[in-house]
Amino acid sequence: MTSYLDHAATTPMLPEAVRVLTEHLARPGNPSSLHTSGRAARRVVEEARERAAAALGARPSEVVWTSGGTEADNLAIKGLFWARRTHDPDRRRILVPAVEHHAVLDPAFWMAEHAGAELVLLPVDADGVLDVDALRAELEAHGPQAALISVMWANNEVGALQPLDDVVTLARRYGVPVHADAVQAVGQVPVDFAASGLDALTVSGHKVGGPGGAGALLARRGLELTPVQHGGGQERGVRSGTLDAPLLASFAVALDEAVRRRPEHAARVGALRDTLVAGVREAVPDAVLRGPADPGRRLPANAHFTFPGCEGDSLLYLLDSAGVEASTGSACQAGVPRPSHVLLAMGVDEDDARGALRFSLGHTSTEADVAAALAALPAVVDRARAAGLAGRSSGTPAVA
């Protein structure tokens, strides 16, 4: 039996979301059509919009449907930058922490290469938390040139919660809009768009028990966004494309359920996480927990470790062979393992960063899943270390 501990990558759909999706899949109708079936599909879309908005503390008019978190992040970074430059050509600087998800970093780098943006990578501390003083210094020096700030609500690798209140307070002094990728945060910590003071916020369906291919960008009323894709003018002309009523209905139900169940869910997975952390430390005493040590400053479902002398990919494959599914959190380009940019930004040595493993819990996680991981881990680490030693002595890549 497989123990699935990679919910941060994607989590199984909630039964309620599956039921709504299958119920609507058999119904015809393009939400942009004016006949009866089209109007029925439009009603499904708008009811889903209202439900999603209520779950996230937003107005329905602030919900812009997208195909997922990556598209929403691209729309936020590119759309905000281009809209700001239209009115003030001097606003060229895009400010993002160095630990952002690639769905934010890559479009920001693209804008620097192709659209005249100046990208500023803000430093973080050893826990992966934004250095607020560095942001303050940047705004004091170049506030009038800042086009936007994007700071994730919670880091997807080490689980660190970011100081968004401080970010928003500083940004307001200089009239700089703030976007947050909240893909990992929704359903684990309280997320209220209106109360946050943010200008834009990203959410994704498959992270909260909904379907893949559905997401949203919350954009406050009056916020100007230049469209990234063009076509039929759907979603207030900001995001063209035929809306998928079944996916959106399912997404909204999952979002509503995840938010409603959050207090109990966070307490349950937080207790499992604490058991996992304590067990890993006992089984592998030199393993290093990354991210904030204080459980209140990190996501309750996240436990991220580095294992000295190991390659993360070896750990991953060996655990998989033992029936435990986790994640390294690192990128692999052209078959060459790369250390996590998040860990490197936190000041972790490159060799240590290569030995990263992320366990992430979710609504299907049980004590048996945690026990299975802890039972398999000591032998897995021993084999990964042996493979690493053999690889280094022979000068060839380690194969576990």
- Give the Cα separation of 380 and 283 in Å (integer): 11
Q: Do the beta carbons of residue 150 and residue 96 sit within 8 Å?
A: yes
Which pTM value belongs to this model?
A: 0.95
DSSP state, residue 334: T
H helices present in 239-321, as ranges: 245-260, 262-283, 312-321
Which tens digits make up the pLDDT trace of 57-102? 999 999 999 999 999 999 999 999 999 999 999 999 999 999 999 9
d(CA 380, CA 149): 41
So what's the pLDDT on residue 329? 76
Q: What is the pLDDT of residue 212?
A: 97
Judge whether 1 lies within some domain: no
Asked if residue 328 and residue 311 are part of one domain, the reply reads: yes
Counted domains in the chain: 2
- How many degrees, rounded to 5, is the angle at CA 307 between CA 321 and CA 155? 95
And the tokens for 25? 């899949």
Q: Give the pLDDT confidence score for residue 1 in this predicted structure.
A: 85
Task: Note whether 187 and 265 are within 8 A (CB).
Answer: yes
Locus of tokens 């692999």: 332
Q: Are 254 and 324 found together in one domain?
A: no
If asked whether residues 29 and 53 sit together in one domain, one would say: yes
pLDDT of residue 338: 82
Active-site amino acid positions: 332
Residues 101 and 48 in one domain: yes
**For residue 19, what are its two tokens?**
């039921």
- Same domain assignment for residues 270 and 190: no
| CATH number for the domain harbouring residue 325 | 3.90.1150.10
Which parts of the chain have pLDDT scores under 70? Answer: 330-337, 390-400
The range of the structural domain enclosing residue 68 comes to 15-260
Specify the pLDDT at position 336.
Answer: 57
Domain final residue pick, 260, 280, 296? 260
Exposure of 354 in the CB half-sphere (CA atoms within 13 A) = 15
Claim to verify: residue 240 and residue 331 sit in the same structural domain:
no
Burial of 394 by CB count in 10 Å (0-12 exposed, 13-18 middle, 19+ buried)?
A: exposed
Q: What is the pLDDT of residues 234-246, one digit of tens each?
A: 998 999 999 999 9
CA dihedral 364, 368, 369, 373 (to 10 degrees): 170
Regarding whether 249 and 120 lie in a shared domain, the answer is yes
